[in-house]
Amino acid sequence: MRYLTAGESHGPRLTAIIEGVPAGLPLTAEDINKDLKRRQGGYGRGGRMKIESDQVEITAGVRHGKTTGAPITLNVTNKDHQKWLEIMAVEDIEDRLKTKRKITHPRPGHADLVGGMKYRFDDLRNSLERSSARETTMRVAVGAVAKRILAELDIEIANHVVVFGGKEIDVPDGLTVDQIKELAQQSEISVVNQDREQEIKDYIDQIKKEGDTIGGVVETIVGGVPAGLGSFVQWDTKLDAKLAQAVVSINAFKGVEFGVGFQAGYRKGSEVMDEILWNEEEGYTRRTNNLGGFEGGMTNGQPVVVRGVMKPIPTLYKPLMSVDIETHEPYKATVERSDPTALPAAGVVMESVVATVMAQEILDKFSSDNLEELKAAVAAHRDYVKHF
Ligand SMILES: Cc1cc2nc3c(=O)[nH]c(=O)nc-3n(C[C@H](O)[C@H](O)[C@H](O)COP(=O)(O)O)c2cc1C
């Protein structure tokens, strides 16, 4: 399964084409819309999120409620585009209109300046429009399709925020993927510990008043994963490495860890490796899951636990200093739009890209022209590894 996304932040619409989804998968626009809505929610977001209630239109690859195996095309209209008709026009326009919303004061922490240098733009809006996190709408849409495939195979995925602007959320031990999903989705800030909810919301309000922003750490967990996805035979076949790339490809994500992650650098081997057990009902299991479900670039049958760190949103309402690219004089950076944090929304994006990579790997490994064929192949593999 492969996909591409296209579309600008204020252009007419965003598009994704996905190829390689098995035929016979039940799929509706609603399956995708519910995740698009989650991406637009979360405490601390305002403005455009209220204008844009995103709705997907499926224009290819699905017939009578089921995929046909043909490429699937997904479209989301940017309702806001109506206010940007001239600024984002495809056709050339009069020069005097071109300076409307022209950007010459690049925002630190964004693609504005370097994108301008690379593509030789005199209007940095060309960098802004495509590098904007608005693109993650389509990654969530693609992820929703991937999650439909995973759900058919009894693979569940959830995300929750574990650090909010330096404040660590203590997570109760022993929560299942379903419990994490339910608790995080009930919370406006995607945390599983409701006792911390008000304190964090107050902190977000305070940051907003200060005209500042915060980032944090999101954890995504995938349960029901069969052992043996990914491979050790080549650097680019390792599944943990593919997941790392997908997570760092999300706007503002700066690092990834699996299981205990960077803590492994502070512990002894006996405190990191997961001892191997076997029982008739489950087959191979582990005493712990410190390695987050990966050994040798392959899933080991334990839940995949991956964390991503998001930097604070770079646009500040108390703007940072920048330089005018026409005069080289110091200026305050352009403020396009901002929120104190987008961490809960970013968690939905992370869950979506992780689901997409997991589904891609499954479709690569197993026979998958049709959903029933895929289900039979995965079931046979699960049975084999259990009695290995
Ligand atoms: C869900 C989500 C929403 C975001 N919203 C904003 C925003 O409103 N304003 C902003 O300046 N950056 C926002 N960002 C971050 C920027 O898109 C990102 O920092 C920028 O494109 C530069 O990319 P880099 O941080 O990966 O280098 C958001 C990121 C995500 C994941």
Q: Where are the beta strands (DSSP E) in 134-200?
A: 156-164, 167-168
Q: Residues lining ligand 1, CB < 6 A?
A: 109-111, 131-133, 136, 250-252, 311, 313-315, 337-339, 342, 345-346, 349
Atom nearest to 311 CA in ligand 1: 25
Q: What is residue 114's predicted lDDT score, i.e. its pLDDT?
A: 98
How far does the centroid of ligand 1 lie from the alpha carbon of residue 186, in Å? 24
DSSP character string of 123-135? STHHHHHHHSGGG
pLDDT means per 10 residues, the chain with 388 residues, are: 98 98 98 96 74 89 98 97 94 89 95 98 97 98 98 98 96 94 96 95 95 97 98 98 98 98 98 97 96 98 98 92 96 86 97 98 97 98 96
Q: What is residue 51's predicted lDDT score, i.e. its pLDDT?
A: 56
Q: What is residue 104's predicted lDDT score, i.e. its pLDDT?
A: 96
**Whole-number Å distance between alpha carbons of 34 and 45:** 18
Q: Nearest residue CA, atom 17 of ligand 1? A: 133
Q: What is residue 46's predicted lDDT score, i.e. its pLDDT?
A: 73
Q: Could you tell me if 118 and 112 are in contact, meaning their C-beta atoms sit under 8 angstroms apart? A: no
Q: What is residue 52's predicted lDDT score, i.e. its pLDDT?
A: 58
Q: CA dist 58 to 30, 32, 39, 80, 235, Å?
A: 11, 10, 19, 20, 36
**What is residue 307's three-state secondary structure?**
strand
CA-based end-to-end distance of the chain: 29
Task: Choose the residue to mutate in 132, 161, 207, 353 for probing ligand 1, maximizing ligand atoms within 8 Å of C-beta.
Answer: 132
How far does the centroid of ligand 1 lie from the alpha carbon of residue 370, in Å? 37
Q: What is residue 49's predicted lDDT score, i.e. its pLDDT?
A: 59
Q: What is residue 47's predicted lDDT score, i.e. its pLDDT?
A: 58
Atom nearest to 339 CA in ligand 1: 8
Report domain 95-386's class. alpha beta
CA dihedral sign, ordered 225, 173, 269, 261? positive
Q: Nearest residue CA, atom 27 of ligand 1? A: 252
**Whole-number Å distance between alpha carbons of 26 and 63:** 10
Task: Choose the residue to mutate in 137, 313, 315 for probing ligand 1, maximizing ligand atoms within 8 Å of C-beta.
Answer: 313
Atom nearest to 310 CA in ligand 1: 31
Q: Could you tell me if 303 and 328 are in contact, meaning their C-beta atoms sit under 8 angstroms apart? A: no
Q: 98: Cβ–Cβ under 8 A, 6 or more apart, which residues?
A: 123
Q: Which residues are part of a known binding site? A: 39, 45, 130-132, 251-252, 296, 311-315, 337
